[in-house]
Amino acid sequence: MLFTDYDDKTTVIPGKVYDLLFPYSEAACHAGIAGTVQTVRVIDSGLGVHLAGGGPFFTSGEAGIHHDYDGSLYTYGFYEKHPE
């Protein structure tokens, strides 16, 4: 079982591809991916993610990505960033 490390805040950059540990949000539970690592592409506006290889769209909050006070994005569910 994978656990989130809340001491390890990671900056998320829109337009990049990441492996994220999905939280137990209502949308992730409904899609059956809560608590699993999924490859996602963060859309350019930073407001959501697309699962790699197609699949549903999730808002950034549903995917465990949060907005900081200055508008930057971060997550505690970071697993791996894909090379460019």
Each residue's pLDDT expressed in tens, for the chain with a length of 84 residues: 455 556 678 889 999 999 999 999 999 999 999 999 999 999 999 999 999 888 889 999 999 999 988 989 998 876 666 665
Distances (CA, A) of 77 to 26, 80: 16, 9
Which helix (H) or strand (E) segment holds residue 26: the answer is helix 26-31
- State residue 8's pLDDT score: 75
- State residue 49's pLDDT score: 96
Give this prediction's pTM.
0.81
